[in-house]
Structure 1
Amino acid sequence: MPIPADVTGEEIDKDVRQELQSLPKTLADDVARNLVMVARLIDEDPEGAYGYSKVALRLASRVAAVREAAGFAAYASQKYSEALAEFRAARRMTGHIELWPLMADCERGLGRPEKALDMAGAPEVHKLDKAGQVEMRLVAAGARRDMGQLDAAIVTLQSPELASNSVQPWTARLRYAYADALLAAGREGEAREWFAKALESDKDGSTDASDRLAELDGVEFVDAFDEQADDEDKGEDKGEDKGEKGGADGDTSPSPVAPVEDAEAADDAEGEARRD
């Protein structure tokens, strides 16, 4: 796939660049440029990102950063089996544990929530940093919901991180998941409270908490552009109706030519009568 000329490969993280130094320079540059495209597209065009990740994987499958990027691209494209395989490969290469929650979520995606719960209770979880532990809690709660255990999902999310008033990168998503679980359990009042808290902490718009709140409050949003288009359509319809009733501007009065023709015909008839 073509890569834009402005992508040089220098845009990638310096740690990844260092990993690529084990490759010949030309090859390293090609891999880097493909990894840049993965990062650029993964949110807006997951399939496009997946395509570039496959190219990078073909060029440098023995580089852990490449296997990890391929895992993220497959995960974003909901190719959970591939994602799990790539995450496992990256973990074997590096020995790092931070991909553990994502691996567990892949198990959920593959329809194996019990396996995800097993991973949530594994010793590896204790090696995760705080962000990773919160992520693991979110995955475990999701697995409980997959199994129809709503009350257990709610309890799983009840944690010091949820109760804390400090706002961390994970706060909005944790509060949102808790609100969503409460709503699914029919606890609408509590759900509204936690959706509001999620919105309050969602500085980068990572959730649709505002939409969920509006839905609970019965607020219906109207797209201003759609409304303007409707008004324009109505105006065009009125113009067409006027055109059908008369001329182009809707005037229904007789043509001014008709009376002149009638007068000339009358004069001709009068002249013929005199000659007779």
Structure 2
Amino acid sequence: MQSLPKGLAEDVAKNLVMVARLIDEDPEGAYGYSKVALRLASRVAAVREAAGFAAYANQKYSEALAEFRAARRMTGNVELWPVMADCERGLGRPEKALDMAGAPEVHKLDKAGQVEMRLVAAGARRDMGQLDAAIVTLQSPELASASVQPWTARLRYAYADALLAAGREDEAREWFAKAVESDKDGSTDASDRLAEMDGVEFVDAFDEDEAEDAGVTEAADSVVEDEEAGEVGEGDLKD
């Protein structure tokens, strides 16, 4: 951003801030802001990266991959390697994602990036119908570790989901429970999956309130109708 004139840099920064704010709750809105930033400063790596994530959030995998590649060429960093591989999965090319999982770039990733790459590789195995291979791919020191890291919940969840898909329900339940224990910020729906396996059904509190309100209204309407009927009856007697 330092290479841009001050006014232009401020405009680009404002659009990037909106991309970050909206990408989870309003991906389409984030995508719109990313396109504005891209028009203003397409030669800035941060802009290309933001555009890539916005496209990725909208399942525009071909576009996302092109932006990630551009950002990588500009910076030389490998941190986008896992999400680039996941774009290959999104484009229906799991074999390409697996090739990337075995590339030298993976060894240059930090621990979080390596775990993310493992998740992508396991997903690619599942795309190819190789459930047992997906399970083995997820078995790692990070999965076995008792310490909770930012990636722990997602790794345990993916492992539990793969076990369940393979029909290993008892093990799946155990790992969904472990995912719940480590999921402090609700990044997965592990608790819902665990409850579903235990046969627990949740009732929406709003639905209950609406039902109660409807019941009160019906009762009130019934009272009014009864009173009106009574008044008409008295009038008939007087006549």
Query: Structure 1 length normalisation: TM-score?
Result: 0.83
State the alpha-carbon separation in 1 of the partners of residues 63 and 55 from structure 2: 6
Q: Which has the higher contact order (CA 8 A, sep 6+)?
A: 2
- CA displacement, residues 84-106 of structure 1 (integer Å, 9 cap, x when unaligned): 00000000000000000000000
**Which residue does 1:41 correspond to in 2?**
22
Bigger proportion of residues as helix: 2
Instruction: Give the counterpart letter for 1:193 in structure 2.
Output: E
Alignment of 1:79-228 (within 5 A): 79-228=60-209
Q: How large is the RMSD of aligned CA atoms in angstroms?
A: 1.5
Deviation at 1:233, TM superposition (A): 1.1
Q: Secondary structure at the match of 1:72?
A: helix
* Cross-structure match for 2:220: 239
Quote how far apart the aligned CAs of 1:241 are: 3.3
SS of residue matched to 1:22: coil
Deviations 1:227-272 (A, max 9, x none): 111122122223333444441xx6368326853x6xxxxxxxxxxx
**Aligned equivalent of 1:5:** none
TM value normalised by structure 2: 0.96
Name segments (4+ residues, structure 1) moved above 4 Å.
Answer: none
Identity of aligned residues (%): 82
- Return the alpha-carbon distance in structure 2 between the equivalents of residues 178 and 41 of structure 1: 29
| Alignment-derived partner of residue 42 in structure 2 | 61
Aligned length: 239
Deviations 1:98-150 (A, max 9, x none): 00000000000000000000000111111111110000000000000001110
Is structure 2 residue 5 aligned with structure 1 residue 24? Answer: yes
